[in-house]
Structure 1
Amino acid sequence: MAVLYKAYSSPPVRCVMMVADILNIKYESQEINPLLREQDSPEMTKKNPMRTIPTWEEDNFVLGDSHAIILYLFDKYAKPEHYYLYPKDKQIRAKVNLRLFFDCGVLFPRLRSVMAPTYMGRLTEMSNSMRKNIDDSYRVLEAYLSDTVYLADDVITLADISVVSTLATLNGLRPIDRFPKLKRWYDKMCEEDFVKRINMPGAQEHIEGLLTLMEMNKSKLKSHI
């Protein structure tokens, strides 16, 4: 049976969990604590040299990065009733890919720019530049929603699942309320059963953890003044 190395609060992990749920894939879960850097162990580094989570292991095949994992899971496990997630139409598929690359290359790194210094004990609140960069990514998503109901098509695709996992945490730190199309899309995604069951509890855990750590960092810095 396949194994998913994960931490439930991680947005990329939640993305893989949602896609696996839709595709009815059975797997074992192996918890990894990123705060303790358990992904840096020699065993995990050999499996995934990027030392990130999630990591997917199946039949002596190991894959890191949520975007690569969900594309692999679709290619291997999708049945005809799932084809809407990654349509065969080349132009729609290209749009899905673009949104996935945006999540990987822009949206999640802007969340990570908040996460990393928070976990390292340095960040007490988001800086103006962090807020500006996050808002800029929201503007791009707002534009993507100008012509379609969802990010790449008028039905949910892998792009929506990937982005909603990241956005669920970001929205708790920097609300999307000033972006009406994005807010409408997000609310619609949150009505989906797999988002309610899998994404939102993990996102809430992630948000609360980050905000708590920021307050702890603030207290530590005050005590050293």
Structure 2
Amino acid sequence: MASGSGDKKESELKPELKLYSYWRSSCSFRVRIALNLKGLKYEYKAVNLLKGEQFSPEFTKLNPIGYVPVLVDGDLVLSDSFAILLYLEEKYPHHHPLLPQDLHKKSINFQAANIVSSSIQPLQNLATLKYIEEKVSPDEQLAFAKHHIEKGFVALERLLKDYAGKFATGDEIFLADLFLAPQIRSAVERFKMDMTQFPVLCRLNEAYNGIPAFQDAMPEKQPDSPLTSAS
């Protein structure tokens, strides 16, 4: 009996949630922030995009299109960061709400998140840039990505200038912030964007860097990061 009780306690400590992630993926980064904000424990399952593990039979059973992140919650398998975030919000609404009650402010969060998820990130992801390299020229990759990032940032700067407080839509962290933080970081560190024309986004980025839930979700702190492996 004692052994059975111990086994039960051990199983209770094991996270129910599994997140299939790649350390550098901004889409995975968003979900990691949400899980941290909501205080949800999860098992990190690394998928190496550079090695093509996203196209393995094991992974495509989870997500046929071969993208990270994928969240597994018991029998539920859910891909696409936007869908995952809304699922977590519905299931755990009282664990740091990701959406404000105010309808107007909520719509601004959706709009900002959508600018990142549909008008910026897909145009800078690994598959898109690889296609540009193969079909056009390796020299066009960076220019192509920076063009679309700048276009999206101009829109975000205009959208948020009348709403931003400490964070994107006031003084609380909401959905828009989860999309903005990884995107701004990627623009600065990966694509070497000049951010001087985006004072609102720069100020928000400084605020994000001081929040533990954001810090712990940083790419370099993930178990599959080369920096983590080196240490």
Q: What TM-score results when the alignment is normalised by the length of structure 2?
A: 0.77
Q: Could you tell me which amino acid in structure 2 is paired with residue 26 of structure 1? A: K
Structure 1 residue 189 displacement after superposition: 1.8
Is 2:19 the partner of 1:4?
Answer: yes
Q: Structure 1 CA distance, aligned partners of 2:46 and 2:131?
A: 21
Structure 1 residue 127 displacement after superposition: 4.6
Q: Could you tell me which amino acid in structure 2 is paired with residue 201 of structure 1? A: E
Contact kept, 8 Å, 2:24 with 2:219, in 1: the verdict is no
User: 1:70-109 to 2 correspondence within 5 Å?
Assistant: 70-79=85-94, 82-83=96-97, 85-109=98-122
Q: Structure 2 CA distance, aligned partners of 1:55 and 1:145?
A: 30
Q: Structure 2 residue aligned with 1:53, among 68, 87, 108?
A: 68
Partner of 1:13: 28
Q: Structure 2 CA distance, aligned partners of 1:48 and 1:114?
A: 16
Q: Could you tell me which amino acid in structure 2 is paired with residue 160 of structure 1? A: D
Contact kept, 8 Å, 2:132 with 2:141, in 1: the verdict is no
Contact kept, 8 Å, 1:13 with 1:53, in 2: the verdict is yes
- Structure 2 unpaired stretches of 5+: 1-15
Q: Name the Cα RMSD after superposition.
A: 2.8
Percent identity of equivalent pairs: 25
Compared with structure 1, are the counterparts of its residues 131 and 6 closer, same or farther at alpha carbon in structure 2 (3 Å cutoff)?
closer
User: 1:63-212 to 2 correspondence within 5 Å?
Assistant: 63-79=78-94, 82-83=96-97, 85-112=98-125, 116-117=129-130, 123-124=138-139, 126-148=141-163, 149=165, 150-172=167-189, 173=191, 174-199=193-218, 201=220
Q: Structure 2 CA distance, aligned partners of 1:69 and 1:47?
A: 14
Q: Could you tell me which amino acid in structure 1 is paired with residue 76 of structure 2? A: F
Instruction: Determine helix, strand or coil for the equivalent of 2:201.
Output: helix
Partner of 2:11: none
Compared with structure 1, are the counterparts of its residues 28 and 113 closer, same or farther at alpha carbon in structure 2 (3 Å cutoff)?
closer
Q: Structure 1 CA distance, aligned partners of 2:88 and 2:219?
A: 22
Q: Structure 2 residue aligned with 1:23, among 38, 56, 67?
A: 38
Q: Could you tell me which amino acid in structure 2 is paired with residue 51 of structure 1? A: G
Instruction: Determine helix, strand or coil for the equivalent of 2:173.
Output: coil
Compared with structure 1, are the counterparts of its residues 175 and 200 closer, same or farther at alpha carbon in structure 2 (3 Å cutoff)?
farther
Partner of 1:215: none
Structure 1 residue 139 displacement after superposition: 0.6
Q: Could you tell me which amino acid in structure 1 is paired with residue 211 of structure 2? A: E
Instruction: Determine helix, strand or coil for the equivalent of 1:185.
Output: helix
Q: Structure 2 CA distance, aligned partners of 1:91 and 1:130?
A: 31
Structure 1 residue 116 displacement after superposition: 2.8
Larger gyration radius, structure 1 or structure 2: 2
Count how many residue pairs are aligned between Structure 1 and Structure 2.
204
Structure 1 residue 129 displacement after superposition: 4.3
Deviation string, structure 1 residues 82-125 (Cα, Å, up to 9, x no partner): 23x21122222222111221111012123227963299686357
Compared with structure 1, are the counterparts of its residues 200 and 61 closer, same or farther at alpha carbon in structure 2 (3 Å cutoff)?
closer
Partner of 1:223: none
Q: What TM-score results when the alignment is normalised by the length of structure 1?
A: 0.79
